[in-house]
Amino acid sequence: MSSSGRSVNANKITLQVLATLLSGQLDRPVVDSTGLTGTFDINLEWTPDAGVSDSVPLSGPSLGTALQEQLGLRMESGTGPVNVVLIDYAERIPTEN
């Protein structure tokens, strides 16, 4: 694959770790809902969606297609709970000069 393509190559990782890696690539949460346990050797290569890469357009599978063809996994869009940090109050602590 061209150097402008994306890939994840890892040995002995869980699918939860793969989901975390993909979250970083997609800039959105990816959750492992497979129920599969254990570790896996992963070699996944895909072409970023249009606009993600500034280089010459690439030919190759999208991330969703690559997941299905190369690993036998499928991504589905959905909604779910999201962790949120809520700050109710903030106060500047006086410091001595």
57 pLDDT more than 50: yes
- Number of domain units in the chain: 1
Residue 60 or residue 72, greater confidence:
72
Tokens standing for residue 38? 């254990």
| Structural domain that includes position 52 | 1-97
Confidence of residue 67 (pLDDT cuts 50, 70, 90): very high
Contacting residues for 20 by C-beta, under 8 A, at least 6 apart: 30
Beta-ladder partners of 33: none
| Mean pLDDT of the region 45-62 | 71
pLDDT band at 2 (very low <50, low <70, confident <90, very high): very low
Sign of CA dihedral 19, 24, 27, 29: positive
Say yes or no to pLDDT of 42 above 50.
Answer: yes
Mean pLDDT of 78-90: 88
Position with higher pLDDT, 10 vs 3: 10
